[in-house]
Chain A
Amino acid sequence: MMIDSILLVDDEDLFHLVFEDACSLLDISLSLRSMNSSDEAAKLFKEWSVGDKSQRPECVFVDLNIIGSSFDGIELIRKINFEYGNHVVIGIISSSNEPEEQSKALQAGAQFWIIKSDDIEPRLEEFKKDYQGYKNRTNPFKVYR
Chain B
Amino acid sequence: MIKLDSNTKKQLIDLYETKKIGLEGNITKMIEADGDTELLQYLENCINRDKENRKKRLEVTRQVQTQNSELQKLNDENQRIMSELQQTLKEVEESKMTYEVQNRELNEWKQDNLRLTEELKTEMVKSEQARLEAEKAKTSAETDLDLLQKKKQFELINTIVKIALFVIIGVGLTTTALYLTAMFTDKDTQIIGSTWSNMFGILLTNAFSIVGTIMGVKYASEKKD
Contacts and interface: CB of A to CB of B under 8 A. Distances in A.
A17 B26 contact: no
A91 B123 CA distance: 93
Interface stretch (A18-26, A107-115, A137-145): A18-26
Contacts of A14: 61, 64-65, 68
Query: What does DSSP make chain A's interface, helix, strand, loop or mixed?
Result: helix
B96 interface: no
B50 to A, nearest CB: 8
A17 B61 contact: yes
Query: What does DSSP make chain B's interface, helix, strand, loop or mixed?
Result: helix
Interface in A105-130: 118
A18 B65 contact: yes
A61 B30 CA distance: 24
A118 B55 CA distance: 13
Interface string B10-34: 0000000000000001100110000
Contacts of A30: 26, 29-30
A15 interface: yes
Contacts of B29: 27, 30
Nearest to B65: A14
Contacts of B57: 17, 21
A95 to B, nearest CB: 9
A27 B54 CA distance: 12
Contacts of B55: 21, 25
Choose among A14, A21, A118 the residue with the greatest number of B CB atoms under 10 Å from its CB: A21
Contacts of A21: 54-55, 57-58, 61
A118 B62 contact: yes
A115 to B, nearest CB: 15
A3 to B, nearest CB: 12
A14 B65 CA distance: 7
Interface in A11-50: 14-15, 17-18, 21-22, 24-25, 27, 30-31
Nearest to B50: A24
10 contacts: A14-B64, A14-B65, A17-B61, A18-B58, A24-B25, A24-B51, A25-B51, A27-B29, A118-B65, A118-B66
Given A21-B58, A24-B51, 14 more contacts: A14-B61, A14-B64, A14-B68, A15-B65, A17-B58, A18-B61, A18-B65, A21-B54, A21-B57, A21-B61, A24-B54, A27-B29, A30-B30, A118-B62
